[in-house]
Amino acid sequence: MEDKLMLMIPGPTPVPEQALLDMAKHPIGHRSKDFEAILEEVTQNLKWLHQTKGDVLMLAASGTGAMEAGIINFLSPGDRVLVGSNGKFGDRWAEVAIAFGLNVEQITVEWGKPLDPEQFREKLAADTGKEIKAVILTHNETSTGIINDLETINKHVKAHGEALIIVDAVTSMGATNVPIDEWGLDVVASGSQKGYMIPPGLGFVSVSAKAWEAYKTAKLPRYYFDLGKYSKAAAKNSTPFTPPINLIIALQRTLKMMQAEGLDPIYKRHQRLMNATRAGVKALGLPLFAPDSCASPAITAVAPVQVEAEKVRSIMKKRFDIALAGGQNHLKGKIFRIGHLGFVSDRDVLTAISALEAALIELGVDSYTPGAGIAAAVAAINSKSD
Ligand SMILES: *Cc1c(COP(=O)(O)O)cnc(C)c1O
């Protein structure tokens, strides 16, 4: 059916109607007083969302641009860095770091398992010469639906004392607690089409005081993504280059919506959506790809055995206008992924689980009690445990 698509992929995520309407307006000048006032408010509210008093800078880029900015502003050619890799986005960090000539040591774990903080501790403890300049990792690994134990890994980085911690929080920011100042996270990258509830096009980078110190001596070339320019401009409620004005106006709206909901209720909602999705999928007899102990609050990966993942995805799309994501790299065709990030409510998950059962019926899979999926999802939503 036309205009009925329900996005349940892990980005882009659904956008509230008010934010869409804001974007439909004529752009205003980015050097105008009106826009200065918008930037001032957006900057303050971004700091609230990121739980930091430090800079949160906006770039005209997707999340990967924010990641690249997070590398080139704080490091120099040949710097030794540890990169955590347990999925597509961890691998991307390594690719960016290698592209810029860093000395990359990957801490790798099989896709579908969480990074092992102990491996980071050992490498950092052994580095008595303090050669490791940064530890770089993905918080929520979107490709596998795994959330890594950032808090513990960060403690080991802090014990090292020298290395910066550089984090991809693209699908954890706005879904779960990422207290930047409390944990002392140095560089945190994210992107607008995920938990921020607006379309793609804005990248965000938060920068700690310690990272700004490193910036002063960092020698990788930078121009458009030179964060010093953005920081200097932000202090005057301005931007160094023409920003995506309409996106920022939409962001003004969604940040207000997030403030009205509150950080804790937002995190609890994502926890509930995760619990309901996982309970529903399990009750339909489909194996979950990630263990409960490290399950992502933003995305649930499902690894069906009785039926082909791509067939499920195809019916969900054709019959029910629900877009699910497929697997990436070697997981292509092996898993499908249900996004529940950003502007997503209980109703959306109930709809997806019901449609999933209908899709299974169409594929001849009936090895569960009819209605088991929806019953389990409702029970999870009503559970008072959170
Ligand atoms: C979406 C995403 C990114 C950024 O991807 P872009 O396509 O560049 O926006 C980075 N890391 C993770 C974990 C993501 O989910």
In a mutational test of the pocket of ligand 1, which residue from 83, 140, 170, 296 has the highest number of ligand atoms less than 8 Å from its CB? Answer: 170
Low-confidence ranges of the chain (pLDDT < 50): none
Kindly report, residue by residue over 5-14, the tens digit of the pLDDT: 999 999 999 9
The domain boundary residue, chosen from 207, 229, 260: 260
CA of 364 to the centre of ligand 1 (A): 35
- Domain at 303, CATH number: 3.90.1150.10
The verdict on the CB of residue 142 being under 6 Å from ligand 1 is yes
Is the same domain home to 228 and 353? no
Domain that holds residue 210: 17-260
Q: Quick one: pLDDT at residue 385?
A: 61
Q: Which CATH number is 184's domain given?
A: 3.40.640.10
pLDDT per position as a tens digit, 302-324: 999 999 999 999 999 999 999 99
- Domain-ending residue, one of 226, 260, 294: 260
pTM over 0.85: yes
Give the distance (Å) from ligand 1 centre to CA of residue 114: 18
Query: How many A from CA of 191 to the centre of ligand 1?
Result: 7
- Looking at the fold, whether 109 and 129 belong to one and the same domain comes out as yes
- Asked if 290 and 296 count as a contact pair (C-beta separation under 8 A), the reply is yes
Phi-psi region of 21 (alpha: psi -120 to 50; beta: other; left: phi over 0): alpha
Regarding whether 209 and 287 lie in a shared domain, the answer is no
Residue 2 belongs to some domain of the structure: no
Shared domain check, 274 and 254: no
Q: What is the pLDDT of residue 115?
A: 98
User: Does residue 45 sit in the same domain as residue 175?
Assistant: yes
Residue with tokens 């969302």: 49
Atom of ligand 1 nearest to the CA of 200: 9
Confirm whether 84 is domain-assigned: yes
pLDDT tens digits along 56-113: 999 999 999 999 999 999 999 999 999 999 999 999 999 999 999 999 999 999 999 9
* 8 domain-assigned: no
If asked whether residues 374 and 358 sit together in one domain, one would say yes
Residue 165 lies in a domain: yes
With the C-alpha atoms ordered 283, 288, 291, 295, is the resulting torsion angle positive or negative? Answer: negative
Tell me, yes or no, whether 226 and 354 share the same domain. Answer: no
Distance, CA of 10 to CA of 148 (rounded, Å): 17
- The residue nearest atom 5 of ligand 1, judged by CA position, is 63
Distance CA 191, CA 172 (A): 11
Residue 250 belongs to a domain: yes
Confidence at residue 384, expressed as pLDDT on a 0 to 100 scale: 75
Residues 311 and 243 placed together within one structural domain of the fold? no
> Could you tell me the distance, in angstroms and rounded to a whole number, from the CA of residue 57 to the centre of ligand 1?
17
In a domain, 218, yes or no: yes
Write down which residue in 215, 234, 260 finishes a domain.
260
Specify whether 216 is located in the same domain as 136.
yes
Shortest-distance atom of ligand 1 to CA 171: 15
pLDDT in tens, 61-75: 999 999 999 999 999
Same domain, 207 and 112: yes
Please indicate, yes or no, whether residues 358 and 238 belong to a single structural domain of this protein.
no
The structural domain count of the chain equals 2
Query: Ligand 1 mean position to 104 CA, how many Å?
Result: 20
Query: Whose alpha carbon is nearest atom 4 of ligand 1?
Result: 63
Q: Is 89 in the pocket of ligand 1 (CB under 6 A)?
A: yes
Residue 5 lies in a domain: no
Distance, CA of 191 to CA of 151 (rounded, Å):
21
Q: Is the CB of 199 under 6 A from ligand 1?
A: no
Do residue 145 and residue 281 come from a single domain? no
Both structure tokens of 358: 């209908």
Examine residue 149 and state whether it is found in any structural domain, yes or no.
Answer: yes
In ligand 1, the atom with minimum distance to the C-alpha of 65 is 8
List the beta strands (DSSP E) in the chain.
6-8, 55-60, 80-85, 103-108, 132-138, 140-141, 146-147, 164-168, 187-191, 202-207, 299-302, 322-326, 336-339
Q: Is the CB of 84 under 6 A from ligand 1?
A: no
